[in-house]
A and B are shown apart, each in its own frame.
Chain A
């Protein structure tokens, strides 16, 4: 198994409750912005967890940068942004700068000490995402949108080739959500960072993603956005009117 940023072949994954993913074959190339969509319980987050080595494969294969996910260790090439509300320990008094600095640990060998240069990298990404003025604030005191930007900065500070975002906008209102997708789109275009973004928000992500993966335990669609808009299968699934709304990019 080689080539591509992310590759899965006939990937299956099961929990004790049953099969969660079945026969998923995808290939994500450098610079892709892939929207992973599907209803609740369709296996979107499980796919992310398999790719990150947090969940075992029960059939088929999955690789990151040509390395099987269970042996992958070049974490400096990957940025990960989980659902923020699940993440934040309300007791933890971490500042924005300290939180973002944690994203650099994947580039460090033991002992993982941060240098002056690392702190400059942190400041640079905070500037880029317009959150430098809040660098000394505690992350627990920020609004949902600000927290999201901080966690995005944490995922991007190591200058990754691939960013995986698991329902990053679940806590945001629709307007903030679109702004967030646009920001990710800008990073994808300008820095050629490959993006995998999990969302249940099929309509909004369609405006920004270059590829769509529609899951419902099985892979119902994988291809570029134009194909998604012309797909008869997707028309049958959503209805023509809904499909038209999703594909309307303006």
Chain B
């Protein structure tokens, strides 16, 4: 890809929108992913993505598309995320079982609604597999607003989230309202999952939450560095994914995920190399 080609690609409006919205959403997912992975809640993204499928099916059956579909999915996914928390607390279920229940509900409701609403049309498939290049200006606007909201909340609750990731009981004894903060974490995750569905698709959202986080956990030498590295990988993978997929004429969502997995492989090998060297000293 020459510089000329790069400039040409950048001149397209849909590429500019994809780069802007994609980078913002990927950064959010990656940062949240660090907390989710440390809390062993990695698969919450998968569960909520399935609920997003249900929410999108509701929107499409009401003939609501693009940004409107996003706004219909949002409350459904937010409520479901709280449902996961409540199930974990009240029904004496493990987090994984609660995620499984809500996920099954979301996907089965989605299938029925899609079937009633005339089957799997192109719009629903674009949400399943992602279509970052079709992001509209309205969706970029929503992504920008939600990015600012989530980032502000992350900034305000950063140390509380860090303390809970370290140890939940110890955090409670430090006066942190762990139930509230857990609620904040899943709500932020729900917001990000809804945003990310257009980016990588419902099927691949969890990879955007998990892979940058686990890559940075391989290499980071402090917690703050870990969060920063994850954000860098998430954002970087979207930029690289858009350019490479455009150049190679391949699906962007899958390319973004593959680039993330490539970074994880590199991080894993780098960690092995460093620990091998320090063991041999």
Which of A's residues lie within 8 Å of B, judged by CB?
52-54, 73, 75-76, 78, 80, 82, 87, 89, 91-95, 98-99, 102-103, 105-106, 108, 110-114, 136, 138
Chain A's closest residue to B216 (CB) is A93
Interface string of B159-196 (1 = CB under 8 A from A): 11011011101111111100000000000000000000
Shortest Cβ gap from B169 to chain A (Å): 6
Q: Across the interface, do A82 and B169 meet the contact criterion of CB distance under 8 Å? A: yes
Q: Chain B contacts of A106 at CB under 8 A?
A: 173-175
Which 5 pairs from chain A and chain B are nearest by CB?
A75-B175, A106-B174, A111-B156, A93-B220, A112-B159
Q: Which of B221-229, B234-242, B244-252 contacts A (4 or more CB under 8 A)?
A: B221-229
Q: Across the interface, do A82 and B170 meet the contact criterion of CB distance under 8 Å? A: yes
Q: Chain B contacts of A75 at CB under 8 A?
A: 173-175
Q: Across the interface, do B175 and A105 meet the contact criterion of CB distance under 8 Å? A: yes
The answer to whether the Cβ of B37 comes within 8 Å of any Cβ in the partner chain is: yes
The answer to whether the Cβ of B155 comes within 8 Å of any Cβ in the partner chain is: yes
Shortest Cβ gap from A161 to chain B (Å): 15
Shortest Cβ gap from A163 to chain B (Å): 12
Q: What secondary structure prevails in chain B residues at the interface with A?
A: helix
Q: Across the interface, do A92 and B175 meet the contact criterion of CB distance under 8 Å? A: no
Q: Across the interface, do A105 and B176 meet the contact criterion of CB distance under 8 Å? A: yes
Q: Across the interface, do A102 and B169 meet the contact criterion of CB distance under 8 Å? A: no
Chain B's closest residue to A108 (CB) is B159
Q: Across the interface, do B159 and A94 meet the contact criterion of CB distance under 8 Å? A: no
Q: Chain A contacts of B220 at CB under 8 A?
A: 93
Query: Can you pick out 20 interface pairs between chain A and chain B where the beta carbons lie within 8 Å of each other?
Result: A53-B173, A89-B38, A89-B165, A89-B167, A93-B217, A93-B221, A93-B223, A94-B166, A94-B223, A95-B221, A95-B222, A98-B162, A98-B224, A102-B174, A105-B159, A105-B163, A105-B175, A111-B155, A111-B156, A138-B221
Knowing A102-B163, A105-B160, A114-B159 are in contact, say whether A93-B222 is a contact too (CB < 8 A). yes
Interface centre among B38, B170, B172 (most CB of A within 10 A): B170
Complex Cα distance, B37 from A108, in Å, reads 26
Shortest Cβ gap from B95 to chain A (Å): 15
Q: Chain A contacts of B174 at CB under 8 A?
A: 75, 102-103, 105-106
Chain B's closest residue to A80 (CB) is B173
Chain A's closest residue to B159 (CB) is A112
Q: Across the interface, do A95 and B223 meet the contact criterion of CB distance under 8 Å? A: yes
Q: Across the interface, do B160 and A112 meet the contact criterion of CB distance under 8 Å? A: yes
Given contacts A73-B175, A94-B222, A98-B162, 16 further A-B contacts (CB under 8 A): A54-B173, A78-B173, A80-B173, A89-B38, A93-B217, A93-B226, A95-B221, A95-B222, A102-B162, A106-B173, A106-B174, A110-B156, A112-B176, A136-B221, A136-B222, A138-B221
Q: Chain B contacts of A98 at CB under 8 A?
A: 162, 222-224
The answer to whether the Cβ of B120 comes within 8 Å of any Cβ in the partner chain is: no
Complex Cα distance, B248 from A133, in Å, reads 51
Chain A's closest residue to B220 (CB) is A93
The answer to whether the Cβ of B273 comes within 8 Å of any Cβ in the partner chain is: no
Q: Chain B contacts of A54 at CB under 8 A?
A: 169, 172-173
Complex Cα distance, B160 from A102, in Å, reads 9
Complex Cα distance, B224 from A120, in Å, reads 18
Knowing A78-B173, A105-B175 are in contact, say whether A91-B222 is a contact too (CB < 8 A). no
Q: Across the interface, do A91 and B37 meet the contact criterion of CB distance under 8 Å? A: yes
Q: Across the interface, do A92 and B166 meet the contact criterion of CB distance under 8 Å? A: yes
Complex Cα distance, B173 from A95, in Å, reads 21
Q: Chain B contacts of A80 at CB under 8 A?
A: 170, 173
The answer to whether the Cβ of B262 comes within 8 Å of any Cβ in the partner chain is: no
Complex Cα distance, B157 from A102, in Å, reads 13
Shortest Cβ gap from B7 to chain A (Å): 39
Q: Across the interface, do A82 and B159 meet the contact criterion of CB distance under 8 Å? A: no
Q: Chain B contacts of A52 at CB under 8 A?
A: 172-173
Complex Cα distance, B174 from A136, in Å, reads 23
Q: Chain A contacts of B157 at CB under 8 A?
A: 111
Q: Across the interface, do B221 and A92 meet the contact criterion of CB distance under 8 Å? A: no
Interface centre among B37, B165, B174, B217 (most CB of A within 10 A): B174
Shortest Cβ gap from A81 to chain B (Å): 9
Complex Cα distance, B165 from A136, in Å, reads 19
Complex Cα distance, B219 from A138, in Å, reads 11
Q: Across the interface, do A87 and B170 meet the contact criterion of CB distance under 8 Å? A: yes
